[in-house]
Structure 1
Amino acid sequence: MTGKVHLVSDYRTSPDDLWALTKDLDALVAMNARMVKMQGVPSGDMYSGQEFVAQVSLFGVLPKQPYGIHVLEVDDTLRIFRSTEHGSGVKSWNHTGRVEETETGARLIDEIFIDAGWKTPLVVAWANRLYRARHAPRLRLLDQRGVLR
């Protein structure tokens, strides 16, 4: 059973600045911090072919579990990345993220296909909440970088 998450988020910043934040793994850890504590994530920008196993803990309360991430593609020209992930009860989490220019700035489009067996509806609902919860920290990080309009 596969479920889908589709989220569109608009920001008053340039597409290049939003893309720089989107591929920054340190920013990923910071944006997830409220809902998922992540350890073992490499620092810096993700790159095509990168593979790592992080230790994740929901809300920093549940026991840490291994979570594998394989970055399939990072295209700076098209501002798109694709990854496949698994672990912590998830069979597959296939994520495509892309940044587009808008009239007022930039748009981040996240599309994720999730297979967690019988838990898929629960994991999809949780993923929707997680990705929406990244909005405020992403705004703070863009502001800290001085790139919000």
Structure 2
Amino acid sequence: MTGAVMPYAVTLRAVYPRDPDTVFAEALHFGEMKQAMAKIAIYEGLPDGEVAAGERFTVDVLMWGFLRTKNHVMYVESLDCAARVLQSREHNPSVARWDHTLSLDPHPQGALWTDHIVLEAGWQTPFVARFCRYVYSHRHRTRGALSLTREIIRQ
């Protein structure tokens, strides 16, 4: 190996006290994500509507009012409402790969929301993975998850 940084996988599992179909339907609205991130981020250029397969958006993200990521591309690769699975492929000038799979499954307490993100950002990958874990953890805490597990694995 020539010292290249391998991709990292970030996985979060959050339990919600609601029906999985209801939680998944809520997750398909960009407005819901904006609301879950409102205390730490602003998404400039992201519509308020519902996610649809094949859509591509380019947004600027302003974190904490001073850290700006320009030209973050979000492509909704697939959406399977029956299986409650959404797959996006994202990237920006600093992050070559941000592949996100969101899935909702039944759980004894309601719904199990799983975010699985595979990241590649060159030498910054370990730091981006920790940032990703923080951002998604913030979203789940804001949404009122009953429990949350988080892991980062170097692939």
User: TM-score of the superposition, structure 1-length normalised?
Assistant: 0.88
Segments of structure 1 that go 5 or more residues without pairing to the other structure are 141-149
Higher mean C-alpha displacement, 26-35 vs 100-109: 26-35
Kept after mapping to 1: 8 A contact 2:95/2:121: yes
Q: Which runs of 4+ in 1 moved over 4 A?
A: none
Distance 1:64 1:10, change over 3 A: same
Q: Residues 13-34 of structure 1, C-alpha deviation per residue, up to 9 Å, x if partnerless?
A: 0111110121111111111222
Q: Choose between structure 1 and 2: higher helix proportion.
A: 1
Q: What code does the residue aligned with 2:56 have?
A: E
Rounded to whole Å, the distance in 2 between the matches of 1:26 and 1:78 is 22
Higher relative contact order structure (alpha carbons within 8 Å, sequence separation ≥ 6) = 2
Report matched runs for 1:55-70 at 5 Å. 55-70=60-75
User: Which deviations, in whole Å up to 9, do the C-alpha atoms of 1:107-130 show, x marking residues without a partner?
Assistant: 100100000110000000010011
In 2, the alpha carbon distance for the partners of 1:34 and 1:130 equals: 11
Percent identity between matched residues is 29
Q: 3-state DSSP class of the match of 2:124?
A: helix
1:89 and 1:34 map into 2 onto residues whose CA distance is 23
1:99 alignment partner in structure 2: 104
Could you tell me whether the CA contact under 8 Å between 2:71 and 2:93 is conserved in 1? yes
- Which residue pairs with 1:4 in the alignment? 9
Cα deviations across residues 56-93 of structure 1 (Å, max 9, x unaligned)? 12212123511100000111100000000011511110
CA-based RMSD of the aligned residues comes to: 1.4
Q: Number of residue pairs matched? A: 140
The answer for the alignment partner of 2:80 in structure 1 is: 75
Secondary structure, aligned partner of 1:5: strand
The residue number in structure 2 matching 1:147 is none
- The one-letter code matched in structure 1 to 2:90 is E
Task: Show the counterpart of 2:40.
Answer: 35
2:144 aligned residue (139, 142, 145):
139
